[in-house]
Amino acid sequence: MRRTGVAIALVVAAVVARVPVANAATGAGAFAVGVTTITFTKTSVTTGAPRPLATVIWYPAVARTGTPEELGLRDAEVRRRRFPLIVFSHGSCGGPDEATYLTKELASQGFIVAAPPHPGNTKADLPGCLDTASFLDSVVNRVPDVRFVIDSMLAENASRFSRFAHRLRPDAIGMSGLSFGGFTTLLAAQEEPRLRAALALVPGGTATLGPNDITIPTMIIGAEHDAVVGFAESEHAYERLAGPRFLIELLAANHLSVVDDCLGGTLCAPGDISQEAAHALVLRYAVPFVQRYVRGDRRPNGLTEIVPGVVVTAGGAR
């Protein structure tokens, strides 16, 4: 992916981003945040073997139900309403819990967020996930993983035995991802027609996207000092967008600024903005983007407003 160099870089990025933050925000929205894990088992595209996806799901919950833990209220009751669905794809050698400041915030704002692992390319697979063969296997399997999770969540919505029965809006599905997951998001935006919008954080590998431009509303969030894939990758991704489109450049931020915790700050680059500041800027634009383009809100959203610490480029009908 540009070709091998970016592939290796994506692997290294997610390896150092593998530890979730200990005090992730609980979310500033109107809803308490519930969390549960459901394993959806599919067949590997490459090997034909069972491929279990232990998917972490955050959702708007009934307050004071479930068991409080770091990720939310474990197995809390789901609020009685239909909510949009967002699938989150993790980085290479990472995991579903690598950006909980984002996934929990989205749940508190009224979204159900399903974050599957990509087997063979998770932190649990270290050091094997560093192998080129494992990386390339994940390239082929990732979008099918996303599609299967969408299928499975819609099946949960249709099942009277599920906690998510009649809790999803099948017409309101979006996707987000980080690093290799950002690339996965862009590729899925080309290939999965059920997606209404895409949010890609520090993506790489744009040279290996399909030939067609991305026509659904898409936001790219890149980092000025990205030492892994480079901010130019975010610019190249933006050039592939043909619908409503946004490029948010986080000034003085690096690739790992958008994960929960770059190993206690020890692997954040000197001179970068703090991760707390980077997270606040990500949420400043990511939340209104999905509210507008996944949920369908029409109220003013401020997506093109420039606040200190960012450069905003936008195009297409908004």
With tokens 């150092």, the residue in question is 16
User: For residues 116 and 153, what is the distance between their CA atoms, to the nearest angstrom?
Assistant: 11
User: For residues 66 and 59, what is the distance between their CA atoms, to the nearest angstrom?
Assistant: 12
Supply 230's token pair.
Answer: 């480079």
Residue ranges per domain, the chain? 4-299+306-315
User: For residues 130 and 148, what is the distance between their CA atoms, to the nearest angstrom?
Assistant: 25
Rounded to two decimals, the pTM is: 0.90
Supply 133's token pair.
Answer: 């063969």
Q: How many CB atoms lie within 10 A of CB 43?
A: 13
Fold of 4-299+306-315: Rossmann fold (3.40.50)
User: For residues 262 and 99, what is the distance between their CA atoms, to the nearest angstrom?
Assistant: 11
Q: What is the pLDDT along the chain (318 residues), one digit of tens a residue?
A: 333 333 333 433 333 333 333 333 357 889 999 999 999 999 999 999 999 999 999 999 999 999 999 999 999 999 999 999 999 999 999 999 999 999 999 999 999 999 999 999 999 998 988 889 988 999 999 999 999 999 999 999 999 999 999 999 999 999 999 999 999 999 999 999 999 999 999 999 999 999 999 999 999 999 999 999 999 999 999 999 999 999 999 999 999 999 998 866 556 777 899 999 999 999 999 999 999 999 999 887 899 999 999 999 999 966
Q: Read off the pLDDT of residues 171-205 as tens digits, 9 standing for 90 and up.
A: 999 999 999 999 999 999 999 999 999 999 999 99
Helices (H), the chain: 4-16, 100-108, 132-158, 180-191, 231-239, 275-290
- Residue type for position 86: I
- Picking from 190, 246, 255, the residue whose alpha carbon sits closest to that of residue 223 is 255
Residue 96 CA, distance from chain mean position: 9
Supply 191's token pair.
Answer: 């290939």
Cβ atoms of 186 and 208 within 8 Å: the answer is: no
